[in-house]
Amino acid sequence: MPLPKDEFEQLYPCDFYTAEELLESGQMYTVYEIARMLQELEPDAELEPETEDVLLDWAIPWIMTNADDLVVAEPRGEDEPGYYGLNE
């Protein structure tokens, strides 16, 4: 259910990194690593599964929004995710 804005102590601008600001040139990242980096965490930070699920809710739309600036690589194995990097 929607809430009135005045029920929140503070509101922040909805500002996301661009692909070039977030990703290093020449590197490929999983969606899990991107999710962490969007929250200014290290790509290999340990997270509780519930926290990782919430971060993925941010990362997946970010990848879709920045798709023109990204390249994709197939997973290296059946049990691994795909990889994303800058489209240079």
For 79, the domain range is: 26-86
**Does a structural domain hold residue 62?**
yes
pLDDT at 7 over 90: yes
Residue-wise pLDDT for 44-54, tens only, equals 999 999 999 99
Mean pLDDT computed over 64-78: 95
45 vs 66: CA distance, rounded Å: 23
**Does a structural domain hold residue 10?**
no
**Does a structural domain hold residue 60?**
yes
**Does a structural domain hold residue 21?**
no
**Does a structural domain hold residue 79?**
yes
Mean pLDDT across the chain: 94
What is the domain count for the chain?
A: 1
Mean pLDDT computed over 27-46: 96
pLDDT for 12 equals 87
On whether the CB atoms of residues 70 and 59 are closer than 8 A, the answer is no
At CA 29, angle to CA 26 and CA 35, rounded to 5?
135
